[in-house]
Structure 1
């Protein structure tokens, strides 16, 4: 009995310190987010203040984002609309490319299958911005730089290389279902569209969310492709331009307000789709 009590006491002690550590780490993680939200309502301008809690609160920072003037020419609503358009079309194309490539690699067998998988794995080890200059000159030769079409092509064209997680998920679906459909006269595309896709909601949600996030978060490609065409900026580039070295003190509180607004749709998507997102990652992380 005393041994059981000793084990129980040790377990309670370990749990206590574990909870303390988790609380401290949570506070460290939440504090920057709380500071950004707090600063977005701050009435005093400036990027840095000697105090943490604002002396006054206002909604003017949010109001000014959607009401550009000659003295404040930044149009956040236009940036938000551009980003949303690019995100939606990139999401549709990238999800289709990703799922189609993953289905082919999971279900079909052909001569260059394994070499292609190895090449895709090697190319995935390199960051995407290494191809930035080459991509820019390709788009320039096509005459579509500084356009939303160029951004959609950039964000969706590489989706065919990111098929490994989706392929792992498709590998968990019994091939007997495909064979039964083939016997009944279904084509491979009909099997993919009417059988595999309805059974793959978690990985579809995962692919959709990851494709949707790219335009909201990317800064490097959009800054190179768009140049000085501020009417085609996305929120990432627009907010960065808002706080360049000469204007950081003037527009910093508006910048934080824009950051809060940008995070809202992404947070809502993750909250509503979290269970599908997690099951898509875990279901696709199998050996195939």
Structure 2
């Protein structure tokens, strides 16, 4: 190996090393920017000062009283246990209904052949491109006409009604299921429902987990639709998002901001635990559905 070749190799290693350092530096800066608000929310939730402290990043003194008050001492403003229960009920119902809708629509488009199938797929994808808030006024007046405003049934209907439009990733995963298995089941006399439940679903655990988590997270984190429908002013009927937002009003924020931070941390725990447990299937569901769709 000549001296010039060795020099070129050393220069190449230096360039790669510098490039790697720069990439990691940029990623570290982005991670810090992303984590700073979360760390501030976490440390503020332990602050002994109930208002917003903008003089220091870390509280001067720490306490667990904010978590104790939020969980065990609800008042007329902070009714976190009731809000948590309301949100959990809505999220569970929506999780079951939306998951069924998404899986059935995805199976129909992936495994069934019928007239105008391609047209319906294109229309559903096109409709899904428009933000849901565009239909808020129309949805509200429909629910008002049906006397479903200020009811969890109306809220669940709004969340689950259009969930089938999010079938695309799930369909991509169903496309990877061998058609020969479905054809063999048909030859044995199985109906479409039996093929769907006993052949396709057992082989689609990753996308099933992905769909369940997405369906559960939608009502858990939503504020806009919940605020529009649950607008009676009765705080015990609110979801967590509405209740926590109410703590940030001008007249309450100086007394409830630390409680707001504690509630925000508590709300994130169920989703975080669910995601950590199901992370393997969640990532596999996304990648398989996106690659094969």
Tell me whether the two structures share a fold, i.e. TM-score over 0.5. Answer: yes
Q: Is 1:213 the counterpart of 2:213 in the alignment?
A: no
> 1:236 maps to which residue?
241
Deviation at 1:68, TM superposition (A): 4.2
| 8 Å contact from structure 2 (residues 210, 286) kept in 1 | yes
Deviation at 1:69, TM superposition (A): 5.6
Give the TM-score of the pair, scaled to structure 2: 0.94
Question: 1:80 & 1:212 partners in 2: Cα distance?
Answer: 14
> 1:145 maps to which residue?
149
Gaps of 5+ in 1: none
Backbone CA RMSD of aligned residues: 1.4
**Consecutive aligned runs of 4 or more in structure 1 exceeding 4 Å deviation:** none
257-266 vs 145-154, which deviates more?
145-154
For residue 100 of structure 1, the aligned residue among 98, 104, 110 is: 104
31-40 vs 60-69, which deviates more?
60-69
| 8 Å contact from structure 2 (residues 74, 80) kept in 1 | no
Are residues 73 and 248 of structure 1, via their aligned partners in 2, closer, same or farther at CA, if it must alter by over 3 Å? Answer: closer
> 2:139 maps to which residue?
135
Question: 2:142 & 2:149 partners in 1: Cα distance?
Answer: 9
Question: 2:291 & 2:72 partners in 1: Cα distance?
Answer: 50
Deviation at 1:134, TM superposition (A): 1.6
| 8 Å contact from structure 1 (residues 42, 58) kept in 2 | yes
> 1:170 maps to which residue?
174
Question: 1:259 & 1:69 partners in 2: Cα distance?
Answer: 15
Question: 1:140 & 1:68 partners in 2: Cα distance?
Answer: 35
Deviation at 1:45, TM superposition (A): 2.5
Are residues 16 and 69 of structure 1, via their aligned partners in 2, closer, same or farther at CA, if it must alter by over 3 Å? Answer: closer
Q: Is 1:203 the counterpart of 2:203 in the alignment?
A: no
Give the TM-score of the pair, scaled to structure 1: 0.95
For residue 226 of structure 1, the aligned residue among 200, 224, 230 is: 230
Deviation at 1:57, TM superposition (A): 0.7
Question: 2:234 & 2:181 partners in 1: Cα distance?
Answer: 51
Residues 55-134 of structure 1 aligned to structure 2 (within 5 Å): 55-68=60-73, 72-134=76-138
Aligned length: 287
Residues 26-65 of structure 1 aligned to structure 2 (within 5 Å): 26-65=31-70
Deviation at 1:27, TM superposition (A): 1.4
> 1:8 maps to which residue?
13
Deviation at 1:149, TM superposition (A): 1.6
For residue 182 of structure 1, the aligned residue among 179, 186, 201 is: 186
> 2:3 maps to which residue?
none
Question: 2:121 & 2:23 partners in 1: Cα distance?
Answer: 42
Question: 1:216 & 1:143 partners in 2: Cα distance?
Answer: 24
> 1:267 maps to which residue?
272
Gaps of 5+ in 2: 1-5
